[in-house]
Structure formats: structure tokens, C-alpha cells
Structure 1
Amino acid sequence: MKKFTLCLKISLLSAFCVFLCAFSNPETIAQSISSLQKTFTDHYDNSQESDEVKRYELNVTNNGFCRYKRYFNNGKTEYFAFKLSKFKDMDYYGTNTSGKLYIHTKGDDVIVQTYKDRGGDVDSMATQLVIPLKNMEAEDLNLIRDNLNKINAEVLISQKP
């Protein structure tokens, strides 16, 4: 009888855990991407860019890319892009009020393109992307890292056969 009671308790406990997990709301890739985009938009620092930069675009897309484009007053354009699944690590150099976020990739995974430059159009690859940010607290940096890691984990899970 004790064996039956123990098995019954284990079964009920397992069923209860499954019930609780069924109603949990794990964060999806789309939510992580949206949060990453909002953080970059809210904390981007125009003042660190030279006076020659007319405008910029910084987008995190739903298909898992980070794209950063700078337009200069002289017509030159710099374009940087990398697939979020290639994220390796990040560093932040600066203070709470102003600094630069270095996003490192696993290899030469950052596409770098320059248009209308004096030396001509240049296509190359890099291992990091540098984004000027302001008003960054440790929680904001942890949020960026967590979102990038969640996206990486989801991509790895979806790629397994």
C-alpha cells in the first residue's frame, strides 16, 4: 500500500508541475528582438558621433539581424550588419552617462560596407560592432546581454535536427 501511495504522490506532483508549466509564458524571440530594439533606440547617443554624421539607422530585425547605418554630410554611407545568432560576447567602455558598446561575434561575421567614399566603395568583414550609447545602467547592459543570449539559444534549438 505504501508503494501505491508513493507512486500516487509522485504522479500528482508531476501532473501539478506540468499544469503550472502549461500556463507559463516564456519569452519568445520576437519579444527579445523587440526589447533589444527598444533598448538601442532609447539609449543611442548622437552626441558621440562626429558633426559629419547627418543621420543614422539602428535596427534589429524580426529575421534576426542587427543593422547599423550611418549617413555622413559628404554623402558617404557606412553600413554594418550581423546575424544575432553569431553573437559571442559584449563589452561596454564608458560611464553611466556615455560610452560605447562593443558587440563581438564568433568570427568575421560583421558585414562592413562603405559607399561613396573617397577610396571607393569597400566591402569587408569585422569581428565587432561598436554602438555609442548613453544613460546605461548595469541592468540595461544585462538586459542587452540576456536578450542576445536568448536569441542565440532559440536559434540553436531551432537548428538542431
Structure 2
Amino acid sequence: MKKFTCCLKISLISASCLFLCSFSDPESMEQCASYLQKTFTDHYDSSQESDRIKRYELNVTNNGFCRYKRYFNNGKTEYFAFKLSKFKDVDYYGTTTAGKLYIHTRGDDVIVQTYKDRGGDVDSMATQIIIPLKNIEAEDLNLIRDNLNKINAEVSILQKP
């Protein structure tokens, strides 16, 4: 009987620890997405395209999407979107003062839509999004990659049956 009671106590303690640990994720997908949103907003370099772009929208959502929309002075609009679970890697070309961040996906996973273009409205797919950045350090770029990888891993786990 003592053996059964001891095993029961161990089972209950480990089950309660497992239950409590499942709710103690120190960095959730929402925190990673909010970090990415803040970093992209703080370091976005509109001066690289200021002669052509009227305004832009860049959003990283809590449900695992990255959306980037550019409104041109001539009325044209470009829209890029991809699911963060399709993230592959990032590259940065430039200096700490100014450069471009290339966010690569596994395949043709970036939705590209253009509106009010001379050639008409076009829907296509791409393998990357290019975001102009300024005043960014190597540590920031590493944190961007780490947060994208964390979101990718979390979304991938949630999507498995």
C-alpha cells in the first residue's frame, strides 16, 4: 500500500508540474510578434524610397502573418504577405546606417499583389520580402532572426495534427 501511495504522489506531483510548466512559456508568439513589429517600425527607412513611396504599412500579426504594403506616389499599391511558418532565413545587405533586410521563405510562399499598375492588377508569388532598414546593429538582426525562428517553431507545432 505504501508503494502505491508513493507512486500516486509522484504521479500527481509530476502531472501538476507538467500542467504548470505548460503555461509558463517565457516568450510566447505574441511577444515575438510584438518585438518584430516594434523593431520593424523603429528601424524602417522610408528615405530609401521616399521619392517613390507615399506611405507604407508593415505588420507582424499575433496569428503568424507578416504583411507589408507600399503606396506609391503614382497611385500604384504593392502588397506582400506570408505566413511566418514558411520562414526560412534572413539576409541583410548594407551597413549599420542603412541597408535592406531580405526575409526568405521556403518556396514561393510570399503573396504579391499589385493594384492600379500600368500593366493592370497582378497577383503572383515570390520567395522573399525586402524591407529597407536604418540604424540597425548586428544584435538586432540576430534577434529578428531568433524571433522569426521562435514564431516559426511555435506555429509549426500548433499546425501538427
Q: Same fold (TM over 0.5)?
A: yes
Q: Report the CA distance between 1:61 and its aligned residue.
A: 1.2
Q: Report the CA distance between 1:74 and its aligned residue.
A: 1.1
Q: Report the CA distance between 1:99 and its aligned residue.
A: 0.3
The corresponding residue for 2:86 is 86
Runs of 5+ unmatched residues, structure 1: 1-10
Are positions 1:32 and 2:32 aligned together? yes
Q: Which amino acid aligns with 1:40?
A: F
8 Å contact from structure 2 (residues 64, 155) kept in 1: no
**TM-score, normalised via structure 2 length:** 0.84
Q: Which amino acid aligns with 1:67?
A: R
**TM-score, normalised via structure 1 length:** 0.84
The alignment-based identity, stated in percent, is 82
Q: Which amino acid aligns with 2:105?
A: T
Are positions 1:43 and 2:43 aligned together? yes
SS in 2 for 1:26: coil
Runs of 5+ unmatched residues, structure 2: 1-9
The corresponding residue for 2:3 is none
Pairs within 5 Å for 1:1-161:
22=21, 25-161=25-161
Q: Which amino acid aligns with 1:119?
A: G
Aligned residue-pair number:
146
SS in 1 for 2:108: coil
In structure 1, how many angstroms separate the alpha carbons of the residues matched to 2:25 and 2:127?
34
**Runs of 4+ with deviation above 4 angstroms:** 21-25
